[in-house]
């Protein structure tokens, strides 16, 4: 069984963004990240439509069946603004109208909502219900104007206080599960950014929550697998080692830069190791350590997605690849 969707997020703010002819035709969904949203629900391009919007619209000429979506939100927007909008039907209507206007003006096919995360990060307990209401309002408005897509990006934790998964699944075309950022330097030890399976150094809670397999299983318990799109990280999490240990779970603290793109990591002439438990690699040199994905681990994840009959895979982000990882996706 082949995957129906290879979804790629495109970082609009990246000065090294690939030109349309350099983006692989295998990406049949490209999501432009990110629109801004004001307190009333109005969406905007941050004033960069003169450069990046015209560029990304040209992508259709390299794949006639490709769908282009606009994404609103992201980590920097947080939760409070979405929480306030979702609680007010008029603001949700404004957001839907604003999205329709931009999609019609610039020739996009849909909207992706990246709310990180309902009922968390300063949000309200009412977000769980209001998020569903928001999606239904937008879905219904889109349906009156054509076949516009509605998608969302969600936490891998499938937190029941944040998500009414069955109701969400009924309202969207597909769900991008952000199966990465599972381990970070604040935990005081090294850990894989996006392990497919649990590591031998994981706590019991981590084994039950902090890997791609368990995250996808939780989402698939209440949503059709065909609507679940598994996230693939084209970047890695960096650490500074604080002891002589070099492996997974070694004492560590944050590095001067928290992350590196795969393009950068591929050029590092550090010692490379493979975690046979988690099916992902890591590299180290002196007191530097990074957990990331390479072509082999990406292929493992694509095979996992196929075996579990998922709708597809999602890449964060197209910009961060040197070509190795999209080739691995296609090969697998």
CA distance linking residue 134 with residue 221, whole number of Å = 23
Question: How high is the pLDDT of residue 185?
Answer: 86
What percent of the chain is predicted at pLDDT more than 70? 98
pLDDT tier, 87 (very low <50, low <70, confident <90, very high otherwise) = very high
Residue linked to tokens 């282009």: 68
Residues 6 or more apart whose CB falls under 8 angstroms from that of 244 comprise none
Tens digit of each residue's pLDDT (9 = 90 or more) over 315-329: 999 999 999 999 999
**1 pLDDT tier (thresholds 50, 70, 90):** low
pLDDT of amino acid 52: 66
Say how far apart CA 71 and CA 301 lie, in whole Å. 24
Which pLDDT does position 17 carry in this prediction? 81
What per-residue confidence (pLDDT) applies to 278?
Answer: 98
Provide the CA 150 distance to its chain's centre, in angstroms: 15
* 5-233+294-331: CATH topology: TIM Barrel (3.20.20)
d(CA 214, CA 18): 33
The reported pLDDT for the residue numbered 61 is 76
Asked if pLDDT for residue 43 goes beyond 70, the answer is yes
What tokens were used for 87? 């609680």
- 263-282 pLDDT tens trace: 999 999 999 999 999 999 99
Mean pLDDT of 168-196: 96
Q: Tell me, what's the pLDDT at 49?
A: 55
Of 27-36, 57-66, 106-115, 249-258, the poorest mean pLDDT is in 57-66
Exposure on the CB side of residue 111, measured as CA atoms within 13 A: 27
Would the pLDDT of 47 be above 70? no
- Whole-angstrom CA distances from 313 to 69, 132, 316 are 16, 24, 10
């Amino acid at each position: 069984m082949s995957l129906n969707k290879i979804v790629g997020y495109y970082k609009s703010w990246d000065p090294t963004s690939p030109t349309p002819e350099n983006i692989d035709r295998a990406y049949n969904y490209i999501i432009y990240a990110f629109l801004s949203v004001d307190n009333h629900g109005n969406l905007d391009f941050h004033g960069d439509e003169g450069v990046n919007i015209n560029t990304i619209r040209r992508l259709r000429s390299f794949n006639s069946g490709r769908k282009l979506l606009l994404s609103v939100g992201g980590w920097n927007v947080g939760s409070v603004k979405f929480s306030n909008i979702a609680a007010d039907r008029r603001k949700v209507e404004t957001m839907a109208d604003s999205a329709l206007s931009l999609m019609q003006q610039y020739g996009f096919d849909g909207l992706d909502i990246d709310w990180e995360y309902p009922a968390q990060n300063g949000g309200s307990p009412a977000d769980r219900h209001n998020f569903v209401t928001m999606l239904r309002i937008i879905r219904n408005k889109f349906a009156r104007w054509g076949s516009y897509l509605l998608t969302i990006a969600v936490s891998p934790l499938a937190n029941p206080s944040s998500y009414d998964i069955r109701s969400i699944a009924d309202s969207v075309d597909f769900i991008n599960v952000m199966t990465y950022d599972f381990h970070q330097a604040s935990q005081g030890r090294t850990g894989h950014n996006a392990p497919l399976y649990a590591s031998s150094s994981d706590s019991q809670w981590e084994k039950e929550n902090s890997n791609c397999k368990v995250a996808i299983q939780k989402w698939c318990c209440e949503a059709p697998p065909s609507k679940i799109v598994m996230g693939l990280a084209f970047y890695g999490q960096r650490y500074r080692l604080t002891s002589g240990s070099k492996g997974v779970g070694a004492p560590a603290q944050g590095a001067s830069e928290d992350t590196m793109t795969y393009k950068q990591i591929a050029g590092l002439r550090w010692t490379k190791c493979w975690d046979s438990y988690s099916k992902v690699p890591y590299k180290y040199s002196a007191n530097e350590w990074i957990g990331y994905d390479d072509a082999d681990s990406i292929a493992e994840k694509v095979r996992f997605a196929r075996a579990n009959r998922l709708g597809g895979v999602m890449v964060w982000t197209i910009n961060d690849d040197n070509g190795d990882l999209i080739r691995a996706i296609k090969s697998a």
